Structure 1
Amino acid sequence: MDDRVNPASEASELVYRAAPVFRAEHGETRLTRLVEQQSAKVSSVVFLFASIGTMVASLALELAGKRRVSRFIGMWPGPILAMGVYNKLVKTFGAR
C-alpha cells in the first residue's frame, strides 16, 4: 500500500514570483508607501482587539436600549478586521 496521500502534491509546490510593474501608473505613490510603512508598525492584535471592543460596545448599547447607535457601531468590526488583513498583507509581502 502506498503511504502517499496525494501523489500530485509535489505539483503544487511551485514558487510564484510577483508580477512586475510594467507601467508607471501601476506604481505606488510616496503617500501610499508612507501609509503602508506606518501601518506595518501597528501590531495585528490591535485590529483584533478593536473589533472585539466594538462588538462588546454594540452589545452593551443594544442592552441599554440605544438601538440606532448600537447598530451603527455594530457595523464597524468587519471593516476593522479588513484593515487588519491589509496590515498583515503589507507586513508579509511589503510595499510593492
Structure 2
Amino acid sequence: MADLRVARGDSNEDQLTASIEKVTSKAPSTLYLALALGSIAASMGFMAAGRKHESLFVGQWAAPFLLLGIYNKMVKQHGSDASREDTHYSAVA
C-alpha cells in the first residue's frame, strides 16, 4: 500500500489563506472562548424564554467558535505554512 501522507514542504498554502490568517491571528484566543460561552448563555436564555428553535440554533455555535480558537492558536504557534522557513518562528522553537 502506498504512503499517502503529506510531508513538510510537499504543499503550500495560498496567499488568500495566509492573508486571512495574518488578520485573524491578531485576535486574542480568549475572544473565541468568550464567543463560545456567550452562545451557550444566549442559548440558555432562549430556552428559558421558550424559544426552542432559536436556542438550538445559537447553541450550536459554541463548537465552531472553539474550533476557530484552536485553529487560531495553531497559526500563532506554528505559523501559516509549515513548509516556509521563517526566522521568526524557528528562533522561538
Would you say same fold, with TM above 0.5? yes
Instruction: Select the residue among 30, 48, 68 that pairs with 1:45.
Output: 30
Partner of 1:81: 66
Partner of 2:54: 69
Normalised by the size of structure 1, how large is the TM-score? 0.75
The size of the alignment, in residue pairs, is 75
Structure 1 CA distance, aligned partners of 2:12 and 2:28?
26
Q: Structure 1 regions of 5+ residues with no counterpart? A: 1-18
- Is 1:21 the equivalent of 2:9? yes
Normalised by the size of structure 2, how large is the TM-score? 0.77
Aligned identity (percent) is 35
Alignment root-mean-square deviation, CA: 0.9
Residue 20 (structure 1) shift: 2.7
Partner of 2:79: 94
Larger radius of gyration: 1
Larger RCO (CA within 8 A; separation ≥ 6) = 2
* Letter of the 2:54 counterpart: V
Q: Structure 2 regions of 5+ residues with no counterpart? A: 1-6, 82-93
SS at 1:86's partner residue? helix
Structure 2 CA distance, aligned partners of 1:79 and 1:28?
22
